[in-house]
Amino acid sequence: MIWYESLNKPAFTPPDSVFTPAWVYLYVLIFLSLFTYIYKKSDKDKKLGYFLFTIQMVLNFAWTPAFFYLKNITMSFVIIVFMLIFGFMTAAEFFKISKAAAALLVPYILWVCFAAYLNYSIMYLNAPL
């Protein structure tokens, strides 16, 4: 974490103590959303929703190693942009089956929007001169 502490960060960067509780809360909502989607009775095919959900979660889990272990701020920004795209696509697909499942993803999407802006700001503030 010494590397992260040494980075130039924007003034709106939350304290480190915010991230763990925020992600616990968001993961609870994300998986409640998935379970709501899974158990909603529907004649519609759910395969695309499962696929989109899986892709956005793989991207979600890829961000941390890209940022903190590879220390690649640009790669992590690309990953988070795709997280956002697939998050929106997942919510849109879930909405077709369950409005509640889609609504449960809204806080996650909002947080990823904020995190993408934060990631971009860190990338900008630490760009080579």
pLDDT for res 62: 98
| Sign of CA pseudo-dihedral 24, 25, 27, 31 | positive
Q: Are 51 and 88 in contact (CB under 8 A)?
A: no
Q: How far is CA 76 from CA 61, 68, 85, in A?
A: 11, 9, 14
Residue partners of 73: CB distance under 8 A and separation at least 6: 67, 119, 122, 123, 126
pLDDT for res 31: 97
Averaged pLDDT, 20-25? 96
Each residue of 44-91: pLDDT tens digit? 999 999 999 999 999 999 999 999 999 999 999 999 999 999 999 999
Integer Cα distance of 21 and 7 in angstroms? 23
Q: Are 98 and 37 in contact (CB under 8 A)?
A: yes
pLDDT for res 52: 98
pLDDT for res 77: 98
b vs e for 68-105, b when ≥16 Cβ sit within 10 Å of the residue's Cβ? eeeeebebbbebbebbbebbbbbbebbbbbbeebbebb
- Max Cα distance, the chain (Å): 56
Query: Is 0.85 topped by the overall pTM?
Result: yes
